[in-house]
Amino acid sequence: MFQKHASRPFLIAGPCSAETEEQVLAVAHELVPLGIDLFRAGVWKPRTRPGAFEGNGASALPWLRRVKAETGLRTTIEVANANQVYEALKFGVDVLWVGARTTVNPFSVQEIADALRGVDVPVLVKNPVNPDLDLWIGAIERIRNAGVTQVGAIHRGFSAYAKSKFRNAPYWEIPIELRRRMPELPLICDNSHICGNRDDLLEVAQQALDLNYDGLMTEVHCTPDQAWSDAKQQITPFTYGELAGRLIVRRETTDNADFLENLENLRHKIDEVDLELFNLLARRMRLAEDIGRYKRRNNISILQTARWNEILEKAFAQGQARGLSEEFVEKYLTAVHQESISHQHTVLHAGAGVRFRD
């Protein structure tokens, strides 16, 4: 379950919300020929502000049972508490998912996990709304500890205060680190909730496949503009078919000896450059320490904002000329600057008892 197929990712699609019986059946029938693996629909909808459509609740569950009976599609819904788990299982929902607003709360996740004890139904765990990898992993562990053997993760992006083209910032480094820590865990990208619009859905889906994700979860609605929730990001089954058809699926590796040898050579060169960069960084830190000693003798503070601004401005231009994005240059220099400050700190206080405790 949840793993990608030889020629395409594992595909989950369906409307944001189950609005009416006709609506879910219509979209499900249109999705069948596209060969999706799992049909999604929200039954209990967590909404940020009160007053919006909060789902039809348990009364929508027979509609999903009918989807399965008529189309053969397996179904998945979000559950946020024990009662929702019992209701979903009573109506034969095949896969449950834990939503982003639930993953943040260990009490709720534990309640869901306890309700699942002895019922080995597959579960997908969305990332929490806040960018906290341990919280995401903790929720996965709670579900697994309840004896659920088929667990996967859904990356749906993270809340950020800063304005960006995305509804939820992808912070790709978080799912990449999840992959490193849990290499066997199937990973699915919810491109709809990352994007919050229709225009970037393909780009984000492709980015996920380029990172070797197993699958995609995408919101599909027959009349997206009239959708009762998340209208801006939903697409028609036709557009979804086009999107799925345009995805480039890559393999993680190959046994082609030439390819492997060339790759090995290039990786070796990269390792050499990385080592060179470390040597240069060490040299930079020695210089920072010299400055620290000098400042100590003259009783000058470490942080000098004007100098820091000057470094950043110069680096943006130098980075741009070398094909390095402003975002990267800023992250890189901030890290280097912090390390320099910490080296200067050590030098500035060497032998002086400024710590309250050790």
Q: What is the binding site for ligand PEP (CB under 6 A)?
A: 16, 42, 46, 99-101, 126, 156, 190, 193
CB of 25 to ligand PEP, least distance (A): 19
- CA distances to 100, 109, 172, 235, 239 from 189, in Å: 13, 21, 11, 16, 18
CB of 230 to Mn ion, least distance (A): 4
Determine, following the binding rule CB under 5 A, whether residue 43 of this chain makes contact with Mn ion.
Answer: no
CB of 15 to Mn ion, least distance (A): 8
Residue 79 or 100 having the CB closest to ligand PEP: 100
Residue 156 or 343 having the CB closest to ligand PEP: 156
| Biggest distance spanned by C-alpha atoms of the chain | 81
Residue 91 or 228 having the CB closest to ligand PEP: 228
CB of 43 to Mn ion, least distance (A): 12
CB of 211 to ligand PEP, least distance (A): 19
Query: Measured on CA atoms in the order 46, 52, 57, 60, is the torsion positive or negative?
Result: negative
Determine, following the binding rule CB under 5 A, whether residue 16 of this chain makes contact with Mn ion.
Answer: yes
**Residue in this structure with the two tokens 């629909």, named with its chain if needed:** 41
Residue 4 or 156 having the CB closest to ligand PEP: 156
Residue 75 or 340 having the CB closest to ligand PEP: 75
Reference 99, options 129, 142, 61; nearest CA is 129
Antiparallel, parallel or unpaired: β 215-219 and 10-14: parallel
3-state helix/strand/coil string of 140-166: HHHHHHCCCCCEEEEECCECCCCCCCC
Where does this chain touch Mn ion (CB under 5 A) — which range of 228-236, 285-293, 310-318, 327-335?
A: 228-236
Tell me, by CB under 5 A, how many residues bind Mn ion: 2
Report the partner that residue 4 touches, choosing among Mn ion, ligand PEP, none (CB closer than 5 to 8 A by kind): none
DSSP state string for 89-125: HHTT-SEEEE-HHHHT-HHHHHHHHHHHTT----EEE
Determine, following the binding rule CB under 5 A, whether residue 230 of this chain makes contact with Mn ion.
Answer: yes
Antiparallel, parallel or unpaired: β 10-14 and 123-126: unpaired
Residue 9 or 128 having the CB closest to ligand PEP: 128
Kindly give the interhelix angle for 305-321 and 326-348, rounded to the nearest 10 degrees.
140
Report the partner that residue 74 touches, choosing among Mn ion, ligand PEP, none (CB closer than 5 to 8 A by kind): none
Where does this chain touch Mn ion (CB under 5 A) — which range of 55-63, 123-131, 225-233, 243-251?
A: 225-233
Kindly give the interhelix angle for 21-31 and 61-71, rounded to the nearest 10 degrees.
30
Residue ranges in contact with Mn ion by CB under 5 A: 16, 230
